Structure 1
Amino acid sequence: MYVILEGIDRAGKSTQIELLKKRYPKALFTKEPGGTPFGQKIRDIVLNTKNISPRAEALLFLADRNEHIQKVIKPNIEKLIISDRGFVSGVAYAHVKENIDLETLLWLNSFAMENIEPDKIVLIEISKDALLKRMHTEKLDTIEARGVEYLLKVQEIMKKTILKTGIEHLFIDASLDKETINHKISDFIEKGR
């Protein structure tokens, strides 16, 4: 089973990934972007380079996505795979930054993923107030520096993208305590496994 955990920066994905690693020690944990050596280079370029054109950024992430499918997902498709982000983030960030049509982005991602979709998607949703509080705790990377409204728009498009795909999904309120969130995610993973 291939599961992606989605959410904008500061929603609590990293915390949940760490808790899931304890609950599923035999699962394969990966991430996008950066789940392969090639992907890590792309991630570093995007997060640490100013003024990359929006389309170039989207294409870099698509290259990473294909490498991830080839090197991580395909060889392990029979295992439980839990990915910190996936195509939903790619579609949402590209749409918000460049206003590329969602249908075009979904087609490009399907091409990059060779029609291999996740079985389940979890989206941790955060409110504006909670996001503002969490953004003052650490140094911002170049994507976070685009601002709260930008990130909330990305979150809105993530949700729209998930609903458009028809893939089984779970939306969770980030304001719940981390154990409750983890329990809901685990129950969702176990359902139908």
Structure 2
Amino acid sequence: MIIAIEGLDQAGKKTQTEMLVKALRRIKIKTAVFSFPDYSTIVGKEIKNHLSGKRNFPPEIIHYLYAANRLEKLEEIQKASSKNSVLVMNRYYHSNLVYGIANGLKEKWLQKLEEGLPKADLVIVLDASQDDSFSRKKSKRDRFEKNKNFSKKISRIYRRLAKKHRWKMVSSDTKQNTHKEIMKIISKKIGS
């Protein structure tokens, strides 16, 4: 099973991913975790340069790079999938859809970029308020994190695509409450 944790920048994805992995391992479910973008790769370094303003790419190119970053890890994902019951993704291809649409690209074109990747079985979107997400980042913000209007647009697109694709929306409340909601969703999914 692949579980993707999605949401606005600073919605708590990393924290909830870590809490979920610990909870699954505690109940003896073999679990591996991946985070995207992965800045340790060649493509990941280009993405980081773009986000920090050192490089400037047109929307099509940066979204190709995001997709390529996941494809760089495809073999690792497949190996981890064969050895673990659950893979938890701190962002997966769903982010590329949302941010790509926000950048004026077509959903079908963006979906084509992700062909060949294993599909997520469950997508959980952390629905944080924009004020919450902006207050959480204390260090330097990247180009997307600085733009409040863009952030609002991202939030609307996540909600719209969540309805369309049956992604699960979870209110990004306190860490513990959010974690409890995620565990309820996963219990239902595993139990079915």
Alignment TM-score, normalising by the size of structure 1: 0.83
Q: For residues 21-170 of structure 1, what are the structure 2 equivalents within 5 Å? A: 21-25=21-25, 26-34=30-38, 37-38=41-42, 40-48=44-52, 49-68=54-73, 70-78=74-82, 79=84, 80-97=86-103, 99-109=104-114, 111-113=115-117, 116-135=118-137, 137-145=138-146, 147-166=147-166, 169-170=167-168
The AA in structure 2 aligned to 1:182 is H
Q: Distance in 2 between matches of 1:17 and 1:46?
A: 25
Structure 2 CA distance for partners of 1:158 and 1:36, relative to 1, 3 Å: farther
What is the Cα-based RMSD across aligned positions, in Å?
2.2
The AA in structure 1 aligned to 2:159 is K
Q: Distance in 2 between matches of 1:42 and 1:188?
A: 35
Structure 2 CA distance for partners of 1:180 and 1:130, relative to 1, 3 Å: same
The AA in structure 1 aligned to 2:94 is V
Deviations 1:96-139 (A, max 9, x none): 12x11122222332x252xx21000000012233234335x332
SS in structure 2 at match of 1:77: helix
Q: Distance in 1 between matches of 2:135 and 2:113?
A: 35
Whether 1:184 aligns to 2:181 is yes
2:66 touches 2:96 (CA, 8 Å); kept in 1? yes
Number of corresponding residues: 183
Q: Distance in 2 between matches of 1:141 and 1:84?
A: 18
Give 1:86 shift: 0.8
Q: Distance in 1 between matches of 2:175 and 2:170?
A: 11
Give 1:148 shift: 1.3
Q: Distance in 2 between matches of 1:35 and 1:24?
A: 26
SS in structure 2 at match of 1:192: helix
Alignment TM-score, normalising by the size of structure 2: 0.83
Q: Distance in 1 between matches of 2:92 and 2:16?
A: 15
The AA in structure 2 aligned to 1:181 is T
Give 1:31 shift: 1.1
Residue of structure 2 equivalent to 1:172: 170
Structure 2 CA distance for partners of 1:82 and 1:39, relative to 1, 3 Å: farther
Q: Distance in 2 between matches of 1:42 and 1:50?
A: 8
1:92 touches 1:154 (CA, 8 Å); kept in 2? yes
The AA in structure 2 aligned to 1:66 is L
